[in-house]
């Protein structure tokens, strides 16, 4: 039997892949798994990726920590025997007979109960709260992890039991994320290998020299953009970036913490795509608006990102700003 696991490239996605790989070892169906990361920056599958999956004769397609659009799930369900989708992002439930959608948020539960995909997997497989689960939730929530009634006590207890502090955990997340932020997809694959094997030992992450060098490069770029003045549009702050690294969400999180206001960022510095990222308090209307305009957009209650073709930001931005300002949009 053949299976493909598709997962996100950030810490939550990498750790989710590691968790699932270890759970797959307990599966008695004899599925031969391939591990796949979509094009970094996309919140959807490209047409070539779709065709690869459709032509593979898959018995199982598992998706972790990616809000793959419902239309793509529906299309894939016609050629894949069974799809399992583990996620915690804002998305309608899949109502398809051969698709198992395990997403508490899509099922109508409060997003705070599923603060990371690793938490979803912990619940689903009745796992203990381990290093991979901790890194997944710290990577997604950062300092707000301790404001989460569910995750905060778990992270504190785990850190205390293993002689770690919050800065150790966030440092590990930054090091894992350095691979995708420098657009090194092979290094992301290697990170999943490492996270699958190390158990609760943080040393292989904290002392990885390659990841440390990548992080130094990223930190320099992030510092550059954090020194760039933002434009105050009233209900939202705007920063227009031109970066060759995937750091838009990192900069956005820093700005949101600094100002405690909605922040809207654009990035036109990547080769093949332009990016939009918003961090705020309730992004559901913004996500819905972006999807109504044909964009592949995904996110959670407090954040969302969208990918555009090169040069497409100027046409989309005014309407998005209206929505973020409390209007219904054009």
Whether pTM > 0.95 for this model: the answer is no
Q: How many CA atoms lie within 13 A of 7 on its CB side?
A: 29
Q: 279: which residues sit within 8 A by CB, 6+ positions away?
A: 249, 252, 253, 255, 256, 262, 263, 302, 303
Class of domain 2-197: alpha beta
Residue ranges of domains in the chain: 2-197, 228-324
Q: 306: which residues sit within 8 A by CB, 6+ positions away?
A: 43, 275, 276, 277, 290, 295, 296, 297, 316
130-159 pLDDT tens trace: 999 999 999 999 989 999 999 999 999 999
Asked if the 228-324 domain carries CATH number 3.10.310.40, the reply is yes
42-79 pLDDT tens trace: 878 999 999 999 999 999 999 999 999 899 999 999 99
CA distance 280 to 253: 9
Tokens 């332009």 appear where?
Answer: 274
Q: Which of 237, 289, 290 is nearest to 261 (CA)?
A: 237
pLDDT at residue number 299: 79
161-209 pLDDT tens trace: 999 999 999 999 999 999 999 989 999 999 999 999 999 999 999 999 9
269-303 pLDDT tens trace: 988 889 999 999 889 899 889 989 888 777 788 89
Fold agreement between 2-197 and 228-324:
no
330 pLDDT more than 60: no
For the chain, give the percent of residues with pLDDT over 70.
99
Angle CA 264–213–170, to nearest 5 = 55
């Amino acid at each position: 039997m053949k299976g493909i696991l598709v997962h996100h490239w950030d810490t939550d996605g990498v750790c989710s892949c590691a968790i699932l790989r270890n759970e797959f070892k307990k599966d008695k169906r004899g599925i031969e798994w391939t591990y796949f990361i979509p094009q970094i920056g996309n919140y959807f599958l490209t047409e070539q990726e779709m065709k690869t999956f459709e032509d593979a004769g898959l018995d199982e397609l598992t998706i972790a920590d990616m809000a793959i659009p419902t239309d793509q799930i529906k299309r894939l369900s016609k050629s894949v025997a069974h799809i399992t989708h583990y996620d915690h992002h804002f998305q309608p439930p899949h109502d398809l007979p051969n698709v198992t959608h395990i997403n508490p948020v899509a099922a109508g539960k409060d997003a705070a109960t599923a603060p990371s995909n690793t938490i979803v997997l912990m619940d689903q497989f009745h796992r203990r709260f381990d290093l991979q689960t901790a890194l997944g939730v710290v990577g997604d929530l950062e300092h707000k992890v301790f404001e989460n009634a569910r995750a905060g006590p778990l992270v504190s207890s785990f850190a205390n039991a293993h002689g770690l502090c919050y800065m150790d955990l966030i440092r590990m997340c930054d090091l894992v994320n350095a691979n995708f932020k420098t657009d090194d997809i092979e290094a992301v694959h290697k990170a999943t290998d490492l996270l699958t094997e190390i158990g609760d030992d943080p040393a292989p992450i904290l002392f990885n020299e390659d990841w440390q060098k990548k992080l130094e490069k990223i930190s320099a770029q992030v510092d550059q953009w954090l020194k760039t003045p933002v434009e105050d549009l009233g209900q939202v702050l705007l920063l227009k970036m031109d970066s060759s690294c995937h750091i838009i969400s990192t900069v956005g999180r820093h700005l949101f913490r600094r100002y405690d206001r909605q922040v809207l960022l654009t990035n036109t510095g990547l080769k093949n795509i332009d990016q939009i990222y918003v961090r705020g308090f309730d992004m559901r209307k913004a996500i819905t608006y972006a999807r109504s305009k044909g964009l592949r957009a995904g996110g959670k209650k407090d954040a969302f990102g969208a990918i555009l073709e090169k040069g497409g930001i100027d046409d989309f931005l005014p309407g998005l700003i209206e929505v973020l300002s409390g209007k219904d949009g054009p």
